[in-house]
Structure 1
Amino acid sequence: MLRISKLTDYAIIILGYMAKTPGKTYTAGELADSAGVAAPTVSKVLKALARAEVLRSTRGSRGGYQLALPAEETTVAAIIRALEGPIALTECGLESAQCEQSASCHIRGNWSVLNRAIQAALDAVTLADMANPMTRAPDGFNIPLGSITIQPRRNME
């Protein structure tokens, strides 16, 4: 089963709250209260998002956190990468992966296609999409699979 961590789930909840009032600066305490998440956990999430430049942080008495980009330009993929690292179903889906079976693996290219499809799907959904409540699932959510190219397998010997 594919799952994101609880921290990533909290990040999307926190960012969804922030997306409702673009340009506003939020304190960690205010975001903890709104999300119903412990303040230390919120601080950890906010720091990771700021490091990944999903958020801007400002120090001082009027400091806090703001979205670095409009919610329409912040992808779910960027949020996941900020907390989870590179997105891949399998280790061989990572560019830098060195697998013991890579020299004899005949399915690596297939995993690569699947990884790019998932990446494209997550890049197609924005924070603005997540911030707006859905009454039901959309009838036709199209993943742009036509833009995914099959790359020849590299020999990893």
Structure 2
Amino acid sequence: MTRTWVPDSASRGHVVVLHGRGEHPGVYERFGRRLAVDGYTVVVPDLAAEPGEPAAWFADAGDTARILVGTDTGALRAWEAALSSSVDGLVLAGTPLSAATEAPAGRDEEISARTSCPIHRERLDADPDFRWGELDAGTSVPPRGLPEIPVLLLHGDGDAIAPVDPVTRLGAAHPQATAAVFKDGVHDILNDKVHRSVAARIVLFCEEIAKGAVVLPEVTAAKSSRVRRAAPVHISARVDYSVRALTELARSGRQQTCESMARTQGIPLNSLVNLMVELRRGRLVNSQRGCEGGYWPAKPAEEITLAEVIRVVEGSVTSRHDDAPQDGVWARLGGTVAEFLDHVTIADLAADRTPVA
């Protein structure tokens, strides 16, 4: 039976977990509760009893971020589904890309191969619904390439069921993928002794997709005798990248991948991937998954204004600090800026037209 965990407040996103061999939805109770505390709805369908399809799994997601998680053979199934379904992020845990180094010989060996968490070991040993011995069964052939969405690869370096090397090579070959390998982790990484760290890594991944906290690469600040401050009118990187991507689509007149736009415009790929998800959610672009996938404008470039782009990626055209008055010169300035940007379109930028004030 499908299990669902919901947050006490409004949901930040919809996380669907596809379980692996021998497992059932109840195995992920700790995981579901933990992510629900962080504001995410977690759904674990019973793949053996009611396989279902992605549309059914995300039926209650609404406009929130859709994150598909798969573990073991469930990772292969999630991977395949993400190539043809509308999901915003993909998490693959313990993905079996090559044969096990040695199949477990019995129940005790299978528990050891699956998890090193004492609590989860006891739960599996006492679980009447767990199906033992299924790790001996074969797996399906993985798809050729990852989907064009953010992908998080989770694995234990001590996984004897699904060796880690093919997974790290997969992550290195795809710029939109991030691999997190946990020291001494074994196969069921979502329920291993490092399950808290794994859950935290997944929450961070979900936050980045759900327009939350974004962790930037560490950089060394340039030495300067002056402290650089934001100018009164500041154009964020998010706005700049979004406008450049939309302008590139308008100029080319064809469907493009994030890789192509990032290369042409000199935009960091990971940043662009996340922004295109927001632009699609804001109905400014459409997308298609798979090998022939890519993005294209959802409406004519003449109908997409800079103000609309800014509202989609930043929430509003202008903002003021908390103690600023709600009227007066700053309100008039905000209105003037918004009015100006409402008359500048992506078509203007694509044609190098200078807007008339």
Same fold by TM (over 0.5)?
Answer: yes
Structure 2 SS opposite 1:108: coil
Number of matched pairs: 126
The structure with the greater share of residues assigned to helix is: 1
**TM-score, normalised relative to structure 1:** 0.70
- Secondary structure at the aligned position of 1:69 is classed as coil
Deviates more, 1:7-16 or 1:120-129: 7-16
Alignment of 1:105-144 (within 5 A): 108-133=327-352, 141-142=356-357
State whether residues 26 and 64 of structure 1, in contact with CA within 8 Å, keep that contact through their aligned partners in structure 2: yes
- TM-score, length-scaled by structure 2: 0.33
Q: Which has the higher strand share?
A: 2
Indicate the SS of the match to 1:10: helix
Counterpart-to-counterpart distance in 2, 1:86 and 1:42:
20
SS in 2 for 1:86: coil
1:85 is the counterpart of 2:287: no
Structure 1 portions without partners, runs of 5+:
92-98, 143-157
Deviations 1:30-79 (A, max 9, x none): 11111122211211121121111111122222221110111111000011
Cα contact 1:53–1:68 (8 A) shared by 2: yes
Q: Does 1 or 2 have the higher relative contact order (CA < 8 Å, sep 6+)?
A: 1
SS in 2 for 1:57: strand
Distance 1:77 1:111, change over 3 A: same
Matched, 1:32 2:262: yes
1:75 to 305, 308, 312: 305
Distance in 2 of aligned mates of 1:3 and 1:10: 14
3-state DSSP of counterpart to 2:342? helix
TM-aligned CA distance change 1:31 to 1:119, over 3 Å: same
Tell me: CA distance 1:100–1:67, structure 2 relative to 1, closer, same or farther (3 Å): same
| CA RMSD of superposed structures (Å) | 2.2
Contact 1:16–1:127 (Cα < 8 Å) also in 2:
yes
* The one of 254, 272, 283 aligned to 1:42: 272
State the alpha-carbon separation in 2 of the partners of residues 63 and 88 from structure 1: 34
Greater C-alpha radius of gyration: 2
Shift in Å at residue 112 of structure 1? 3.1
Pairing 1:7-22 to 2, within 5 Å after superposition = 7-22=238-253
Matched with 2:88 is none
**8 Å CA contact retained: 1:11, 1:79:** yes
Offset of residue 18 of structure 1:
0.7
Q: Identical aligned pairs, as a percentage?
A: 31
- Please tell me whether residue 55 in structure 1 is matched to residue 285 in structure 2: yes
In 2: Cα distance, 1:28 partner to 1:128 partner: 20
Secondary structure in 2 aligned to 1:124? coil
